[in-house]
Structure 1
Amino acid sequence: MGVDATSCTVVEDSILGVRAGVAAGMRVLGYTNPSEAALLEAHGAHVFHSMYQLPDLL
């Protein structure tokens, strides 16, 4: 698409998706419940728990 990966943000809810975004050099936001947060954070995501938070994170 011609956009530099470092200018992109990906929203993911899976470890594989988080890992792919991180590997691509993108900023990764992990959408999950609090009990799963550590798993996504461990792979490089900035975790959030409500889609209401998303506009402020972007």
Structure 2
Amino acid sequence: METLEVLNFDPIRVMVHPRILTWHDDLERQELSMKGLDHAGDEWSDMDADEAQEAFWG
């Protein structure tokens, strides 16, 4: 099978365990952090070089 086609898909009927939602949110935050972006409210700010190194090396 090369492709999969889902007929009559209704996203409202899809259920996800709350732990998966938490994991996904954490993953998105980590990806943004690794890209050097911090989300504070509605503002995005770039990290300086020292902050980026600290985030990368821990």
TM-score class, shorter-chain normalisation, is under 0.3
- Using the size of structure 2 for normalisation, the TM-score is 0.23
- Higher strand share goes to which structure? 1
- Using the size of structure 1 for normalisation, the TM-score is 0.23
Larger gyration radius, structure 1 or structure 2: 2
